[in-house]
Amino acid sequence: MAEFTWVPIYEEIGRKILEFEDRQSGLIALTRRMAERGRSTVSISDRDVDGREFELAEMDPFTFLANFNRGLKEENRRAIIAAIKEEWGLTSDVPSDFHGLPVVNLQSAWFISYAFRRSTDDVPKLWRLARETVRKESEGFDPAVLDDCLQIRGVGLPKLTMGMFWLCPNKYIAVDQKNVDFFSKRSITLGARTAAGYLNFLAQVKDKLGRDFPALSHQAYLEPGEGKEDKRRNPATKESSKVGFWTLSVGEGGRMWPEFSEKSIIAINFDLAKDLREFPDRNSIRQFLADIRGVSIENEWSQVNNSLACWQFVHDMKPGDIVFAKHGMQTLYGVGRITSDYIYDASRPDNRHQRRVEWLAEGNWPLPKDSRVAAKTLTDIAKYGDWHVRLARRAGLDLSDPHNPKVIAPDDEWESIANAPEPSEESGYETSKRAALYRIETALQEIFMSQAELDAVIGRLKRKKNLILQGPPGVGKTFVAKRLAYLMMGEKDYSRIEMIQFHQAYSYEDFIQGYRPDGRGGFQLRNGIFHEFSQKARRDPDRSYFFIIDEINRGNLSKIFGEVMMLMEADKRGEGWQVTLTYGDGEKFFLPENLYLIGTMNTADRSLALVDYALRRRFGFVNLMPRFESAVFAQLLGGAGVGQELIARIRNRFRILNEMIAADARNLGPGYCIGHSFFCPGEQRIGDGEAWYREVIESEIRPLLEEYWLDEPEKIDDQVRVLLA
């Protein structure tokens, strides 16, 4: 019979821990001391964007409580509680049982993300939730406190309510999957996964079943449910079929992972509003996908891979198989065991095709460039020998025996790629096996911005998905555009960048679609460069693609973009916003979420029209100005062999000249200043600095000044003379 001896000390710890909100270092230090004494504690090693590790500087109460509420042996949990009792002078007994207590996964014990992903208010939000939980009954609970925490990356309602239950087991109950299934059989359902939905659920439980939440939680654990039935169906038995191994993409930037983690599911998302079991074969799925896009099956070759993913997800995957949830070829988020057959949820707007999963490891593990993980949605990796074993080690799992996975230290070393899988021939994407890494340190040495400025620009591009870099000549607009793409990709993958230049004759037919001579006296419908590149991005949804338009305001933008202009908005991406193209016999077209546009505008070109408002509001704008004063500019010139005296002269002379140009508001203004890139030598080594400087002035700066002061030749000569003095 369950005794629930854990409840008194859990409630005492819940009251005591509030004293540490303003001295979180005490929780970190206690965790460190317990680890030094051989206890299995949560990690206190934080990480920055480059993977460098350092000790946590802040800790929320729930992450601390996870020290003894993880998948540990009971004796280890009791030892940690005993150490806390001694340290804090608690009076309650160390528990003899943990009946009814849900625990977090060993690999995802934190309630916060690493420092480079963590918001500054994540930890304060969790402390507010702890105070609200301990000090108030559910009837007086402020729902805004819980709703705020639901915005924290990587946590959801099940995990947060689990923490609330740890703090106050007689006032709140967890809504993990076991409890939700248990209560739904008793006509108590969890509606919206919000604070209001949870508090309504809690009220139903109290009204129908009473307030003995520990006992109810224990009963839910003991009751046979889908999880246990799945285990009985799990092929990990004597006569089991072979365990399968799969990689599954979780969307661009890992956008679907929080839901997968929270709900213990995986899903594929091809907007197929139909039960996949109704299709007799794979080709019928491919035909259906082509039909909903309004194209012939012969022209929609990219659906070969998507139809394979759908067929395998339903017919080849099985309970007991191991799935690796990943983003593109860069990041591993989780390793799980499939625990259900295929599920079709027609009530959802997306991700209707699901399977339930028991997550064995959750985190955020960068994959090395030579990991060769295929970028496509679903890949069967069982045929690649023990490659799945090496991949699992990355996440801290030993899958040598897939029926009995063991937790180990995550492996930061990646073995030889000799036996790693090649990308599928059907994958429909170009791979960049030798793409060079590109990190923020490199970017800061190349584009003369501070890290704060660069972070703001990247944030604007991610938010709007469309960005225009505008500025006077010579500030490196096109150069910066490419570096922004490299930085967001994390590598110099030229296959995912397309660049064109607009001009007055550029048309919709060039850009989107139109009829072109076929060489036989007739005309043939052909897709334009933007249409083709968009299709390429659609075939590789887990990686970002960048379309760069140089001199974007040289073209007639309304004519060039046509009906596609509407689709450029960040909230109008995806198949749900598809439009019918002007040509193409009713072809439907949409822009994928992983496609970014970057345009450049020269503010000193008098011949260019202003970007109209309809397009302007769809872009974020960044002003680039001369950066002669940048320390990186001076380092660049010095490294190329330019003397310090000449560097100082260039900076001083062009500061004065640009001040004069900017002050001439009637004829010129700040948009006509002269940029630093005229003096960026690239890979060139400067031998004679004075000769090089004179050549730049005479061949590049003078012609520009002649355009500025067309009717004032004396002024031009005077300024050139000053520059060369």
Q: What confidence tens digit (pLDDT) does each residue in 230-270 have? A: 332 233 333 334 789 999 998 877 788 888 988 889 999 77
pLDDT above 80 (res 428)? no
Helix (H) or strand (E) holding 14: helix 7-17
Please say if the pLDDT value at position 154 is more than 60: yes
| Residue 247 CB coordination number (10 Å) | 22
The average pLDDT across 326-333 equals: 81
Q: What is the pLDDT of residue 584?
A: 65
74 — pLDDT class (breaks 50, 70, 90): confident
Residue 646, pLDDT > 80, answer yes
Check whether 349 has a pLDDT greater than 80. Answer: no
Q: What's the rounded mean pLDDT across residues 139-168? A: 91
Q: Are 188 and 208 spatial neighbours (Cβ–Cβ below 8 Å)?
A: yes
Per-residue confidence band for 96, with pLDDT thresholds at 50, 70 and 90: very high
pLDDT of 709 over the 90 cut: no
Q: pLDDT tens-digit profile of 76-90?
A: 899 999 999 999 999
**Mean pLDDT confidence for 412-426:** 41
Question: Could you read off the pLDDT of 21-43 as tens digits, one per residue?
Answer: 999 999 999 999 998 888 889 98
| pLDDT score recorded for residue 233 | 26
Spatial CA neighbour of 155 closest among 63, 285, 39, 75: 63
- In this predicted structure, what is the pLDDT of residue 107? 59
Read off the amino acid at residue 394.
Answer: R
Q: Cβ distance 463 to 620 under 8 Å?
A: yes
- In angstroms, rounded to a whole number, what is the distance separating the alpha carbons of residues 531 and 564? 10
Q: Which amino acid is at 690?
A: E
Summarised one tens digit per residue, pLDDT across range 530-572 is 999 998 888 888 789 999 999 888 888 888 988 888 888 888 8
- Beta bridge partners, 268, equal 353
Q: Are strands 620-623 and 466-471 parallel, antiparallel or unpaired?
A: parallel
Residue 447 has pLDDT above 90, yes or no: no
How far, CA to CA in Å, does 685 sit from each of 109, 475, 633, 697? 53, 21, 15, 18
What would the mean pLDDT of 672-696 be, rounded to a whole number? 87
Structure confidence at residue 304 as a pLDDT band (50, 70, 90): low
- Strand 343-344 to 45-47 pairing: unpaired
Q: What is the pLDDT of residue 231?
A: 32
Considering the chain, what percentage of its residues have pLDDT values greater than 70? 87
Mean pLDDT, residues 211-229: 74
**Which runs of E-coded beta strand occur in 130-187?**
none
**pLDDT over threshold 80, residue 50:** no
Please give the pLDDT value at position 1.
47
Residue type at position 302: S
Model confidence band, residue 522 (pLDDT cutoffs 50, 70, 90): confident
Instruction: Report the pLDDT value the prediction gives residue 293, as an integer from 0 to 100.
Output: 60
Q: Is 399 in a helix, a strand, or coil?
A: coil
- Other C-beta atoms within 10 Å of 301: how many? 14
Mean pLDDT for the stretch of residues 628-633? 88
Does the pLDDT at position 657 exceed 70?
yes
Q: If residue 230 lies in a helix (H) or strand (E), which one and from where to where?
A: helix 226-233
- 501 or 586, which is more confident? 501
Residue 614 reports pLDDT greater than 70 = no
pLDDT level of residue 685 (50, 70, 90 thresholds): confident
Tell me the DSSP string of 502-561: --TT--HHHHTEEEEE-SSSSEEEEE-HHHHHHHHHHTSTTS-EEEEEETGGGS-HHHHH
pTM: 0.47
pLDDT for position 296: 52
> What is the spatial distance between Cα 261 and Cα 279, in angstroms, rounded to a whole number?
29
The SS3 assignment for 136 reads coil
Encoding tokens for residue 129? 């939730």
Q: What is the largest CA-CA distance in the chain?
A: 101
User: Distance between CA 351 and CA 248 in Å, rounded?
Assistant: 13
By CB atoms closer than 10 A (0-12, 13-18, 19+), residue 261 is buried
What pLDDT is recorded for position 134? 96
DSSP state of 150: T
Instruction: Give the model's pLDDT for residue 612.
Output: 60
Burial class of 703 by CB neighbour count within 10 A (0 to 12, 13 to 18, 19+): exposed
What pLDDT is recorded for position 418?
34
Taking each helix axis from N to C end, the angle separating 74-88 and 7-17, rounded to the nearest 10 degrees, works out to: 50
Identify the band that residue 609 occupies on the pLDDT scale cut at 50, 70 and 90.
very low
SS3 at position 17: helix
Residue-level pLDDT at 708: 85
| More reliable by pLDDT, 492 or 373 | 492
Average pLDDT over residues 328-349: 84
DSSP string, 553-567: GGS-HHHHHGGGGGG
Does position 289 have pLDDT exceeding 50, yes or no? yes
Instruction: Give me the chain's average pLDDT, please.
Output: 83
